[in-house]
Amino acid sequence: MHPTDPDGLSAAGPAAIRRGPAAAGRGARSALTRRSLLRAAGAGALGLGALPALAACGIPPAKREGGGEMSDDHSAKERTVVFSNWTEYMDVGEDKTSRPTLDAFTRRTGITVRYTEDINDNVEFFGKIQPQLAAGQAIGRDLICVTDWLAARMIRLGWAQKLDPALLPHAYSRLSAQFRAPDWDPGRAYSYPWTAISTVIAYNIKATGGKTVDSVSQLLDDRSLKGRVGLLQEMRDTVGMTLLDLGKNPERFTDEDFDEAMERLGGAVDGKQIRRFTGNDYTSDLDRGDLAACLAWAGDVIQLQAGNPDIRFAVPAAGYLTSTDNLLVPAGARHRANATRLIDYYYEPPVAARLAAYINYVCPVDGVAPELARIDPALARNTLIVPDRAMAARSRAFRSLTSEEEKAYEERFAELIGA
């Protein structure tokens, strides 16, 4: 047992951690939706237009502009925490039912985790919890994991509670610099990343005839790829990567910059360069070679490479986009302190390594590489999981949008992709 790991997690070898690609082979978890669509219809039904509708029905919206009301905390007497997460976003034991890191947390602290994987889509989940939050009611969860744009909205609406920094010694010291200061939660007062999702270029070297594809310009202009290019249905990823290719910064772009990116994308659509806009389903097309190259999420690339040596990836010289899935304590949570302790636990390197080895997404924890190497040296060297300084420096986030911008941009993008 490693001396810095009282729970024995870092001692587990590769066979003890059932990583997605190793267990399920090619295309494992290809149907998962870490990045869900926020199409105009979904935004209108569940997000942007919902608050006025609630008010019209006599349900007052919660306090806005940050600072969710602190609920009474029952953590000391009720040694439990209710945690909602995405499907297959937690390590699983060899028996396929145990949760090793959660079990170790309970053994150490005496806090039982009621863990549920009931988040399949950000918009759908928000629609489920929004009426209760807007009415000032608890949602029956102490900890949730949502993508950055939804985390930003919940903080702005006052539906997330501030975290107690005294309970976050590991998280505060170990959070990678890359993720410390999002514009929607400066200083991480309300949230901490569970994992990060990098958007890169993936290509099938056999389908490209041996050609490397390493820029968005190639995707949009290289006629040898015509009709075999995939872009993502997620507006922030596709537009953000296009902005970078145009020399714009997605963290500080204007309406005029957005227009330029949309014109660039529209030209590629009109010229039949793009085969289709996809969700996670690009993986099977790329694997077969029906797509020669595409925008892709790093976790999918790692999983595909485990079963297909022809799958390659490139990080454009112009940079790449990184988003985060984030842990929040929602307004009305009964066990705020227990939830905060669980957040901090996942910033201990042995624990973070165990999680990263299973889910294969970017780990936001500094110092995880040596622990990850004990599990699988190849994963520790993979910059799609543990970015080195050079790669981290090329990462950009898509800036927060106002409600008006979000609605307008999503409507225009939905029209572009035919949604």
Give the H/E segment covering residue 344.
helix 336-345
Residue 255 lies in a domain: yes
Residues 399, 378 contacting (CB under 8 angstroms): no
pLDDT at residue 69 in the model: 56
Stated pTM of the model: 0.81
Q: Are residues 263 and 295 in the same domain?
A: yes
Residue 164 lies in a domain: yes
Q: Are residues 273 and 412 in the same domain?
A: yes
Q: Are residues 409 and 269 in the same domain?
A: yes
Residue 394 lies in a domain: no
Strand blocks (E) in 184-228: 191-204
Residue with tokens 């390590």: 91
Residue 62 is given by DSSP the state P
Closest among 269, 224, 223 to 242, alpha carbons compared: 269
Q: Are residues 161 and 304 in the same domain?
A: no
pLDDT at residue 403 in the model: 86
Closest among 121, 169, 120, 160 to 142, alpha carbons compared: 160
Say how many C-beta atoms besides its own lie within 10 A of residue 243's C-beta.
26
Name 83's bridge partners. Answer: 115, 143
Question: For the chain, first and last CA: distance in Å?
Answer: 53
Q: Are residues 159 and 265 in the same domain?
A: no
Residue 205 is given by DSSP the state T
Q: Are residues 221 and 125 in the same domain?
A: no
Q: Are residues 246 and 265 in the same domain?
A: yes
Q: Are residues 147 and 221 in the same domain?
A: no
Q: Are residues 285 and 412 in the same domain?
A: yes
Residue 288 lies in a domain: yes
Q: What is the pLDDT along the chain (419 residues), one digit of tens a residue?
A: 444 455 766 555 444 443 443 333 323 333 333 443 333 333 333 333 443 333 333 333 334 444 555 668 999 999 999 999 998 899 999 998 999 999 999 999 999 999 999 998 888 899 999 999 999 999 999 999 999 999 999 999 999 999 999 999 999 999 999 999 999 999 999 999 999 999 999 999 999 999 999 999 999 999 999 999 999 999 999 999 999 999 999 999 999 999 999 999 999 999 999 999 998 889 999 999 999 999 999 989 998 998 999 999 999 999 999 999 999 999 999 999 999 999 999 999 999 999 999 999 999 999 999 999 999 999 999 999 999 989 999 999 999 998 899 999 999 999 999 87
403: tokens are: 């409600």
344: tokens are: 């901090």
CATH number, domain containing residue 122: 3.40.190.10
Residue 18 lies in a domain: no
Residues 267, 176 contacting (CB under 8 angstroms): no
DSSP percent split of the chain into helix, strand, coil, nearest 5: 40, 15, 40
Range of the domain at 116: 80-190+329-347
Q: How many separate domains does the chain show? A: 2
Q: Are residues 205 and 173 in the same domain?
A: no
Residue 74 lies in a domain: no
Residue with tokens 């170990």: 174
Residue 257 lies in a domain: yes
Q: Are residues 302 and 176 in the same domain?
A: no
Residue 123 lies in a domain: yes
Q: Are residues 171 and 112 in the same domain?
A: yes
